[in-house]
Amino acid sequence: MPSRRLFRFFKPPRGFKLTKAGRIFFAFLFAIIVVAMLTGNNLLFLILAFMLAFMIVSGLESERNIRYLEIERVLPSEIYAMTPSRIGFHLRNTRLTSDRLVINSLGGIKVACLPKGPGEIFTSDYAFEKRGIHKLGAVRISTTFPYGLFEKSISFDLADDVVVFPEPLPVSSATAIGREDTGRGKGADSISHVRPYVPGDSGSLIVWKKLHLGLFSRVVEGGSGLKGVIVLLPGGDLEEKLSQAAFLVGELFTIGGQFGLAVGNYFSGVASSRLHKIEILTHLAGLDAIGVPSPAIDYGTAKLIYL
């Protein structure tokens, strides 16, 4: 029925806010209404009718500009606290071309023109301040199209939960590998790769030939045959330990070694896949306290890295 189609066309909710130009326009409109009513001048009534028609056309065009928009949030597989992550939005309009849009999320993303079709992905860098589960709520898209008199917006309820991993804090594994309370052990027997220097690295590991590029350290690990389990012990700063553990997990994954995490009664097992890495980092993101590792855990032949 025509009435039902009309209702769908003007379906709420819509946000509405006057711009500076809109406030000036409505001030003139109000002034003309008052003067026209007091004087009865037909020319003023004609100007009033023109301004009202201009306002109606502006409202219809702005509604048409955002009416058929669809949006999806695109999240990276790994997000770390205090580290800028590239958050994306897949925006599309399968019926019309949309102009002058603003995605009001994560600081705002301006879209000059969105052609009709499958859509495009627009990204923005954003850093979460804390680890843990963050709930990402609605996304609002606004437009001042066509004449800039007011800002009309439409909201999309994108209920996404994102797990933010602890901020990686560089730590030298050479000072942590070994038996508990010893703090020393042989890391491995071959050079795997180089990385930026971390305070505490041995001077013999520094790549002096690259000194003009900054300080770099060799990472000497046992290659793909390395098995390391990060064991978290009670005491000390919780956030610092979790950040150091996240860094070591990333290092071990990069060199292709097998790695695991033991904290309290939790033991991840030892593996080298990305899924295993994500599982460990997710567990670190949700930790509120560190308990004594269970004595029943069988580490096998893995080297233990105590933090």
Please tell me whether residues 33 and 120 are part of one structural domain: yes
Please tell me whether residues 33 and 103 are part of one structural domain: yes
Residue span of the structural domain in which 253 resides = 173-306
Least confidently predicted of 207-216, 242-251, 262-271? 207-216
Please tell me whether residues 181 and 126 are part of one structural domain: no
Q: What is the pLDDT of residues 135-145, one digit of tens each?
A: 988 899 999 99
pLDDT band at 298 (very low <50, low <70, confident <90, very high): confident
Please tell me whether residues 177 and 284 are part of one structural domain: yes
The shares of helix, strand and coil residues in the chain, as percent rounded to the nearest 5, are: 30, 30, 35
Please tell me whether residues 127 and 208 are part of one structural domain: no
Please tell me whether residues 157 and 249 are part of one structural domain: no
Q: What is the CATH number of the domain that holds 44?
A: 2.60.40.10
Domain boundary among the residues 109, 133, 164 is at: 164
Please tell me whether residues 87 and 138 are part of one structural domain: yes
Q: What's residue 81's pLDDT?
A: 94
Please tell me whether residues 191 and 113 are part of one structural domain: no
Please tell me whether residues 67 and 183 are part of one structural domain: no
Locate the DSSP E strands across the chain.
15-18, 69-74, 85-93, 98-104, 109-114, 120-126, 132-136, 139-143, 150-156, 160-164, 190-196, 216-221, 227-231, 258-263, 266-267, 303-306
Please tell me whether residues 160 and 275 are part of one structural domain: no
Q: What is the pLDDT of residues 253-279, one digit of tens each?
A: 888 888 999 999 999 999 989 999 999
Q: Which residues contact 196 (CB under 8 A, 6 or more apart)?
A: 170, 214, 215, 216, 217
Q: What's residue 11's pLDDT?
A: 52
Domain boundary among the residues 164, 195, 215 is at: 164
What tokens appear for 184 in the block?
A: 């020393």
Tokens 């000194």 belong to 211
Q: What is the pLDDT of residues 76-130, one digit of tens each?
A: 989 999 999 999 999 999 999 999 999 998 778 999 999 999 999 999 999 999 9
pLDDT band at 237 (very low <50, low <70, confident <90, very high): very high
Please tell me whether residues 159 and 179 are part of one structural domain: no
pLDDT band at 173 (very low <50, low <70, confident <90, very high): low
pTM of the model: 0.74
Least confidently predicted of 10-24, 177-191, 204-218, 263-277? 177-191
For the chain, the domain total comes to 2
Q: What's residue 2's pLDDT?
A: 59
Domain boundary among the residues 113, 129, 164 is at: 164
Please tell me whether residues 148 and 243 are part of one structural domain: no
Q: What's residue 261's pLDDT?
A: 95
